[in-house]
Structure 1
């Protein structure tokens, strides 16, 4: 099971970073790979928020995802739902920890590539590592600049 794990420190309060990065409606502004984000359902029950949503990339591909936010522990767990391809599964965990410099934001992605996907696993891992680092750097820049 491949795992991608990356962290970045953002000079902002952990609760603010958690709220901004888990606001699905902001994702087309925070991430370059989403042209549209639509919340299908959202239920909040005290400490927890469960969200079903759809994402669309600039090429027009759309997929659905599920996300569970823990507002007390400042964590989010998520999974890609439909369609899964090019993955057999994609599970994510985002955590936010207050540190003296601001917020340590860590993203962990556990996944398995579908056997029918024709890109070699080392290439997939390399691309995902690079893409995750670019996304985190972009989010850091946007939050710290107040965009």
Structure 2
């Protein structure tokens, strides 16, 4: 199973980084590739939140995803739901931990399989996803550290 895993240290409190990066309604502010982010349903029960949402990219493509947030341990697990293509499945895990010298280590893990009908070779997909993840994490770090985005 292919996997992309990236970490970055952000000079901010873990709770703050977790809150900002999991505020789905604001993803069009935080991520450059999402031109729309719509929360379809959201429930919170103490420690846990469950969110179903729709994302739209610059080309107008939309898909729904699901996310479960653990507000105590600062973990988000998610999956792409519909449409799945170009994936057979896409599962994500984001973790947020305090760094000994201060700040937050934010780690994103993406486990997936490509749809058999998808014609782009896996090495090309891996390279694009790796680059894309690094760009997003760097952009998020810049926005949080500069104060351009803050927890609501």
Where does the alignment leave 5 or more consecutive residues of structure 1 unmatched? none
Does residue 146 of structure 2 align to residue 129 of structure 1? no
Summarize the alignment of residues 20-59 of structure 1 with structure 2, pairs less than 5 Å apart: 20-59=20-59
Q: How does 1:55-94 map to 2 (within 5 A)?
A: 55-94=55-94
Shift of 1:101: 2.9
- C-alpha distance after superposition, 1:26-85 (max 9, x if no partner): 100111110000000000000000000000001000000000000000000000000000
Give the ranges of 4+ consecutive aligned residues of structure 1 lying more than 6 Å apart after TM superposition: none
Matched, 1:107 2:108: yes
Aligned residue pair count? 147
In structure 2, stretches of 5+ residues that fail to align are none
Contact 1:74–1:97 (CA under 8 A) maintained in structure 2: yes
1:93–1:107 Cα contact (<8 Å) kept: yes
Q: Which residue of 2 aligns with 1:119?
A: 120
TM-score, length of structure 2 as denominator length: 0.96
